[in-house]
Structure 1
Amino acid sequence: MELRGEKVVLRPVVAGDGEVLDRIVREPEVAAWWSPPDGFDGMLAVVLGGEVIGAVQFEEETDPEFRRAGIDIFLTARRHGKGLGTDAVRTLARWLVQERGHHRLTIDPAAANTAAIRSYRKVGFRPVGIMRAYCRDQRTGTWQDGLLMDLLGEELA
């Protein structure tokens, strides 16, 4: 599977991507919002001009009564603020709606991650509510709030 956005390409993580992704997820600007995962299997590499600049993942609820998908993403700090995360999320969101048949998508950034929230709004995600003490900040051990955002397929920008 390869998904082409306006600027980035999403493709399955392959051997050799793990070292790059591990380095990215440990950058201070990324580690502020992401804990290093146990591995990157099942994620999609975000690629710009042949360079792996991050990863995106999704999970799906396939029960017909609750069918929906969730998205998470991280990009190297060197590429923040250039619309690349927005392009990656929009590209994956379109695929999840058009090809996988999901009518509703969710994303749940830290409530303090204003840059991510701004990016997700550009795709069409809307705030649903604050999830109090949602995730532990791996740097400080304290709990931080999350913002639940959702997008209905017909609202996709």
Structure 2
Amino acid sequence: MDTLHGTYVTLRPATAADLPTFRTALATVEVARWWHWPDPEGDLAEPEHRHLAITVKGETVGMIQWYEEEDPDFRYASIDIFVHPDHHRLGLGTDAIRTLASWLFDVRGHHRLTIDPAAENSAAITCYERLGFRRVGVLRKQWYDHSREEWADGMLLDLLKGELSEGS
């Protein structure tokens, strides 16, 4: 995969060198509340891994990943992201999603993208809606919340080609 350049961020394939930064972000209260990544080393070692380091001026500030369903009758892609809290509210996550979404639409040929944050993660949902994602519905007991040790709801949002907002 090529390196992708947004307005503020650069997205490049993540490597083992990014793991200390990822672990630092994942250890923060703000990220750990929503993210559990049990085997980053193993995931990054997979030849077809789709984890991208989010960098700003050469500094890794987070990670964005994508998955695609390749069956032509059900083709779509999904995105997931975290940014270290020191870099929250700067537009970096928004720029990373916009950059990857544009690539998934224009280069990979997808017509629809999904993202599924925790239903309680209102900051993430607000960010995604500003980009043009629309709520599809609640995914009941979709993910295991390790901080509460119980199953929790997710919010499914989707975005069709042509709906991506170019604004902030």
Q: TM-score, normalised by structure 1?
A: 0.96
DSSP 3-state at the match of 1:116: helix
DSSP 3-state at the match of 2:74: coil
* Counterparts of 2:27 and 2:76, CA distance in 1: 30
Name the residue aligned to 1:19: 20
Q: CA RMSD in A?
A: 1.0
Unaligned residue ranges in structure 1 (runs of 5+): none
Q: Is the 8 A contact 1:26 1:36 kept in 2?
A: no
1:109-148 mapped onto 2 (5 Å cutoff): 109-148=117-156
Q: Read off the aligned partner of 1:3 and give its amino acid letter.
A: L
Q: TM-score, normalised by structure 2?
A: 0.90
1:22-61 mapped onto 2 (5 Å cutoff): 22-39=23-40, 41=44, 42=49, 43-61=51-69
Matched positions, count: 157
Q: Is the 8 A contact 1:68 1:104 kept in 2?
A: yes
* Counterparts of 1:57 and 1:36, CA distance in 2: 12
By how many angstroms is 1:36 displaced?
Answer: 2.5
Name the residue aligned to 1:154: 162
* Counterparts of 1:29 and 1:37, CA distance in 2: 17
By how many angstroms is 1:132 displaced?
Answer: 1.2
**Identical residues among aligned pairs (%):** 50
